[in-house]
């Protein structure tokens, strides 16, 4: 299963902060974030509260067991199906479909109006993102919530961004 890349960066490193999925807020000041930043989780120290939207805020003094379980929900999915489709269709043939899904997922994560949950579920499922597909299907059937679908979309975006970067 794909995992997180962990590194310490200076909060003034704009590119590093812009690509972050999880950050530690240490009470010494918060990094500048930009529209489209996909902060999934923030670990807070010293009672600090993040000044930006995030799916999860974790107290740094909390026991590690529950934190590890919570973070496992944000592990990026396996990109194996996407890799198999690339072999079958070729990168150039698959690229427009992946870019289209990426654009739609990003719109949804950004909270855009008019997200077609049925379309998202189908396209995400076709490209192998089962969790995102199931979440959007639940939204479409009114049995799930958009917050979960956006979280699963963020993790799919991690894999898609890695796949797209591999061709650069």
The SS3 of residue 143 is coil
Q: Is the pLDDT of residue 79 over 80?
A: no
> Residue 53: which residues within 8 A CB-CB, separation 6 or more?
39
When pLDDT is averaged across residues 62-82 and rounded to a whole number, the result is 70
Can you tell me the mean pLDDT for 105-130? 89
Q: What percent of the chain clears pLDDT 90, i.e. is strictly above it?
A: 24
Residue with token string 């003034």: 12
Burial letters for 108-139: b for 16+ Cβ neighbours within 10 Å, e otherwise?
bbeeeeebebeebbebbbebbbebbbbbbbbb
The pLDDT of residue 159 is above 80: yes
Would you kindly state where each structural domain of the chain is located, as residue ranges? 14-72, 80-165
Residue 94 has what pLDDT? 92
pLDDT at 102: 94
Q: What pLDDT was estimated at residue 2?
A: 44
Angstrom distances, CA of residue 87 to CA of 81, 83, 123: 10, 6, 18
Q: pLDDT-based confidence at 23, cuts 50/70/90? A: low
What three-state secondary structure class fits 98?
helix
């Amino acid at each position: 299963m794909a995992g997180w890349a962990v590194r310490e960066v200076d909060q003034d490193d704009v590119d590093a902060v812009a690509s972050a999925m999880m950050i530690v807020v240490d009470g010494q000041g918060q990094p500048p974030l930009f529209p489209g930043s996909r902060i999934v989780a923030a670990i807070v120290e010293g009672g600090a509260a993040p000044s930006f939207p995030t799916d999860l805020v974790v107290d740094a003094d909390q026991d590690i067991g529950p934190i590890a379980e919570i973070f496992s929900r944000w592990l990026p999915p396996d990109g194996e199906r996407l890799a198999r489709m690339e072999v079958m269709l070729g990168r150039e043939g698959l690229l427009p479909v992946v870019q289209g899904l990426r654009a739609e997922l990003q719109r949804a994560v950004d909270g855009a109006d008019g997200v077609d949950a049925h379309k998202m579920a189908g396209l995400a499922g076709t490209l192998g993102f089962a969790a995102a597909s199931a979440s959007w299907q639940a939204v479409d059937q009114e049995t799930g919530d958009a917050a979960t679908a956006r979280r699963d979309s963020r993790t799919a975006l991690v894999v898609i961004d890695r796949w797209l970067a591999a061709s650069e």
